[in-house]
Chain A
């Protein structure tokens, strides 16, 4: 079977749920949808053997002319991700069959979910940066649609908008970064870009590409300070939270970092940003998680924290890659890959279990839940197992990857490039992060399941969920336990994924549970002891959280920024658009002025006149009349006077035409001036008595300024263009041939109707349209629904 077909299968299948949910009412649509991820899972599982020996590389043309093709590269890392996406996808679809009632808009839900699945397959298998970007944005869009699935809830749409704004911002940054890479290397194929690493490192835009791609990864993977969208995305249905916001989409940023590590690891910015931001996010989010009262809120911050952990491991990997510390490099990267796997297993299960608790009790508020231990024993057992793994308690898989994490961080502090201050900072972050991870993990058990003296006041009467509903988390927890017991079974997969990241074939040592008594183990024991003590006395110190000022919360900052930008753009709009017409006209003229003045300053233009006509007395008198009439109009206080002055100008110009040997013009001008004056006078009685409206002084001044400078500029342009005539006129041709070719003696008329007859045709159309327009303006009157009486008159 073609690998492209499998990658695109969810996208193609996404056309069907809408139809199925409409016409097949008897069976839950989810059962049909389930087929897709199951097929994909089996397909990818069957590929494991061949990928472990060599990556699968395929090329399918799509838009070769712009380099956008389906270049598929399935190496160990991509395979790990496709397995996660398809297997957890199958479990989530199965879980959602029980979670979502048949009354819900199932067609919509599964369409979005399949779109997301296909997009995610595309992201991880793309060997082409353009298709990578395309699928990347498709994950943002489908995530947006899924978060706002219950769109009648304000919180859902707000959360969806927030996640959209932040992740699309990151996506656009990524497009910039990837474009730089294409620009430098001239190819959109990732493996070819990687091959030209030295060329890229030498390029001046290299640093910009690093920053842009970091931004993309940090926004998608919810790293500080872009993590704020993830807790709000918890308004999505729980299967969505389990799938997108814990196991798959949020790891796209991790994937991006891992994919480009060999290319960017030489950069200090890249390395330090990932280590510091990752560790800080881990620490910050785990502290925040302790204070949440919504179960999904705790898990959301926990996800942010664990993503930070994985991110920092990749950063340590880059650090040692750069310094040539090979052992540490492999340990850190393997730990990252291993934790991706572990986190997907326990976090997916925990989200599903929280969804079950929500479904069976009607609330996710930890203050309303209590003592579910005996009422929901299976849920309790599964949650406890998941939570212990999350806390990093032996003998679960979370413990193994946590040990590897601690070991990497401890080793990295011995690194020559890290001084004491940075290393103590890193160690503090690591310790506090791990400590609070332990606290919030165990707090879930303590608050929800262990009975205490507060009365249980959930909205429904709680009872254990049906077995089929529990099946998906059971499978995930079993997988988790399997990894815990036989971590070494997964070594080939991890080895392959690590090799893909470090682009070097490596052999990993046996993955042990127990390395003997060493520093990481002591740290773990310390965390368990101190964590348990802190958890026991939690009511004593939890008030500390209220000390953080409300204004400085990132969500408030985000809301403030959003609000202000809206206000600002509205204000600009109001000032520019709703302002008076005068303002618009003035800005048009000012723009004209500025541009012409700029051109005049840039080019040296000469003004000279070779042959000009003599000035004659009659013309001089006419010009004087025109100037006087113009001034009169400006000064006029009455309407009649200004209309008469306007016609004085018109008639004088007609006379000027006579002197300049333009008889046709003079005729036309005379008659048209007469008609215009008649029109003005006809409107005269209907026009308002008041001719002028008082202007403010400052407006008057700017008006004069703009008007004068426009006049000067127009004169200057005319003078310059008159001085720079470069060609002789084509009128010689008309003068010569007017009689021979067109059989007419009046040149102007022959030009109008013969040489350039089209102008005249459309000029008459203009006249006709104006006539029709005037007629309709006068005759047709309809004001809001009522037929005006004047139409019938």
Chain B
């Protein structure tokens, strides 16, 4: 199972990187959220995926899944959501102001030669 999830993450990362390398802002944002999904999956895999109990304490000597990666992922999800939301509004605003969402057109003003 772990191998499968790792390969899935690889596929997601590849897709994300490809999208980030494209020219449209929306595709770049989608690419970055896909990469954050892949990272979350990898984090989860670093714990254990074995069939054990949910991390809710019920007493006794039961086997639980690793709670630490879950806590880390929870934090990561929220942060990536905040960043995505900000990025989205930024893209929306820059499209409004600059009239294009093609990053190839986003060029700084060169210094005087």
Q: Which residues of A contact B14 (CB under 8 A)?
A: 707-708, 710-712
Verify A656–B17 contact, CB threshold 8 A. Answer: no
Give the residues from 711 to 732 in chain A that come closer than 8 angstroms, CB to CB, to chain B: 711-712, 714-715, 718-719, 721-722, 729-731
Are A665 and B18 touching (Cβ within 8 A)? Answer: no
Annotate A737-766 by CB proximity to B: 1 below 8 A, 0 otherwise. 011000011111001100010011001001
Say yes or no for A601: interface residue by CB 8 A criterion. Answer: no
A680-B88, A711-B13, A746-B56 given as contacts; is B19 within 8 A of A691 (CB)? no
Q: Are A630 and B103 in touch, CB under 8 angstroms?
A: no
Residues of A near B50 (CB, < 8 A) are 611, 613
List which A594-635 residues lie within 8 A (CB) of chain B: 609, 611-616, 619-620, 623, 626-627, 630-631, 633-634
> Which among B3, B10, B12, B91 has the highest number of chain A CB atoms within 10 Å?
B10
Residues of chain A from 635 to 653 with CB closer than 8 A to chain B in the complex: 639, 642-643, 646, 649-650, 653
Closest A residue by C-beta to B71: A751
Known: A586-B21, A633-B30. Contact between A688 and B85, CB under 8 A? no
**Are B103 and A688 within 8 A (Cβ)?**
no
- The B43-77 residues at the A interface (CB cut-off 8 A) are 44-59, 64-68, 70-71, 73-75, 77
Q: How far is the CB of B113 from chain A (nearest CB, A)?
A: 7
**Bound form: Cα–Cα A722–B6 in Å:** 10
Asked, given contacts A582-B104, A703-B21, A729-B66, whether A661 binds B54 with beta carbons under 8 Å apart, the answer is yes
Q: Could you tell me the distance in whole angstroms from the C-beta of B46 to the nearest C-beta in chain A?
A: 7
Contact A688 B34, beta carbon cutoff 8 Å: no
List, in ascending order, chain B residues with CB within 8 A of A589's CB: 17, 21
Chain A residues near B89 (CB-CB < 8 A): 683, 773-774, 777-778
1/0 contact string of A518-555 vs chain B (CB within 8 Å): 00000000000000000000000000000000000000
Which chain B residues border A747 with CB–CB below 8 Å?
55-57, 64, 67
Main secondary structure of the interface of B (DSSP, over half): helix
Minimum CB distance partner of B38 in chain A = A714
Band of interface residues on B: 35 or more
A633 and B15 form a contact (CB under 8 A): yes
B10–A691 CB distance below 8 A:
no
Cα of A282 to Cα of B9 in the assembled complex, Å: 74
Q: How far is the CA of A683 from the CA of B48 in the complex (A)?
A: 38
Which of A79-87, A257-265, A667-675 interfaces with chain B? A667-675
Interface residues in A, total, Cβ within 8 A? 98
Known: A585-B21, A646-B34, A693-B104. A623 touches B75 (CB 8 A): no
Residues of B within 8 A of A623 (CB): 4-5, 8
Which chain A residues in 566-594 approach chain B with CB under 8 Å? 570, 574, 578, 580-582, 585-586, 589
B52 touches A661 (CB 8 A): yes
Q: In chain A, what residue has the closest Cβ to B14?
A: A711
Instruction: Check A777–B90 contact: CB distance below 8 A.
Output: yes
Q: Are A653 and B40 in contact (CB under 8 A)?
A: yes
CB distance from B20 to the nearest CB of A (A): 6
Residues of B within 8 A of A731 (CB): 47, 66-68
In the bound assembly, the distance between CA atoms of A693 and B95 in angstroms comes to 14
A710 and B68 contact, CB distance less than 8 A? no
Q: Does A563 contact B (CB under 8 A)?
A: no
A718 contacts B21, C-beta separation under 8 Å:
no
Find chain B residues with CB under 8 A from A691 CB. Answer: 24, 26-27
Q: Which residue of B lies closest to A759 (CB)?
A: B75
Residues of chain A from 661 to 719 with CB closer than 8 A to chain B in the complex: 661-665, 668-669, 672, 675-676, 679-680, 683, 686-688, 690-693, 695, 703-704, 706-708, 710-712, 714-715, 718-719
B80 vs chain A, min Cβ distance (A): 9
CB of B51 to closest CB in A, whole Å: 7
C-alpha spacing A687/B100, complex, angstroms:
9
When the two chains form the complex, which single residue of A630, A642, A668, A675 contacts B12, counting CB atoms closer than 8 Å?
A630
Partner of B3, one of A609, A657, A690, A746: A609
Chain B residues, Cβ within 8 Å of A475:
none
Partner of A766, one of B22, B78, B92: B78
Is B108 a contact partner of A669 (Cβ separation < 8 A)? no
Identify B65's interface contact among A649, A660, A710, A777, CB under 8 A.
Answer: A660
Shortest distance between the CB of B72 and any CB in chain A (Å): 8
Which residues of A lie under 8 Å from residue B47 when comparing CB positions?
Answer: 729, 731
Residues on B with beta carbons closer than 8 Å to the beta carbon of A714: 9-10, 13, 38, 42
Task: Report whether B9 and A774 are in contact in the complex, using a CB–CB cutoff of 8 Å.
Answer: no
A715 touches B10 (CB 8 A): yes
B110 and A578 contact, CB distance less than 8 A? yes
User: How long is the Cα–Cα vector from A619 to B86 in the complex, in angstroms?
Assistant: 32
A680 to chain B, nearest CB (A): 7
Contact A672 B41, beta carbon cutoff 8 Å: no
Instruction: List B contacts of A752 (CB < 8 A).
Output: 71, 74-75
Contact of A627 among B1, B11, B26, B78 (CB under 8 A): B11
Complex: A725 Cα to B24 Cα, angstroms: 40
Residues of chain A within 8 A (CB-CB) of B71 are 748, 751-752, 756, 759
- How far is B25's CA from A693's CA once the two chains are assembled, in angstroms? 10
Point out the residue from A649, A745, A766 that lies within 8 Å of B58, measured CB to CB. Answer: A745
| Chain A residues within 8 Å of B2, by CB | 609, 612-613, 722
B34, B49, B83: the one within 8 Å of A630 (CB): B34
Residue of B nearest to A711 (CB): B14
Interface assignment of A54: CB less than 8 Å from any CB of chain B: no
Query: Which of B3, B40, B74, B75 has the most A CB atoms < 10 Å from its CB?
Result: B74
* Contacts known (A612-B3, A687-B91, A693-B22); A649 close to B37, Cβ less than 8 A: yes
Query: Judging by beta carbons under 8 Å apart, are A653 and B13 in contact?
Result: no
CA distance A612 to B27 in the complex (A): 35
Find chain A residues with CB under 8 A from B8 CB: 623, 626-627
Query: Smallest CB–CB gap between B93 and chain A, Å?
Result: 5
Q: List 12 A-B pairs, Cβ < 8 Å.
A: A580-B107, A581-B106, A614-B51, A633-B15, A665-B73, A669-B77, A676-B85, A692-B27, A715-B7, A751-B67, A751-B68, A752-B71
Closest 7 CB pairs of A and B: A711-B14, A715-B10, A707-B18, A770-B82, A747-B67, A693-B23, A747-B55
| Contacts beyond the supplied A614-B51, A650-B37, A664-B70: 20 A-B pairs with Cβ under 8 Å | A582-B22, A582-B103, A589-B17, A623-B4, A630-B15, A634-B15, A639-B26, A642-B30, A663-B56, A665-B74, A679-B88, A687-B26, A688-B101, A692-B24, A714-B9, A718-B45, A731-B66, A770-B85, A777-B89, A777-B93
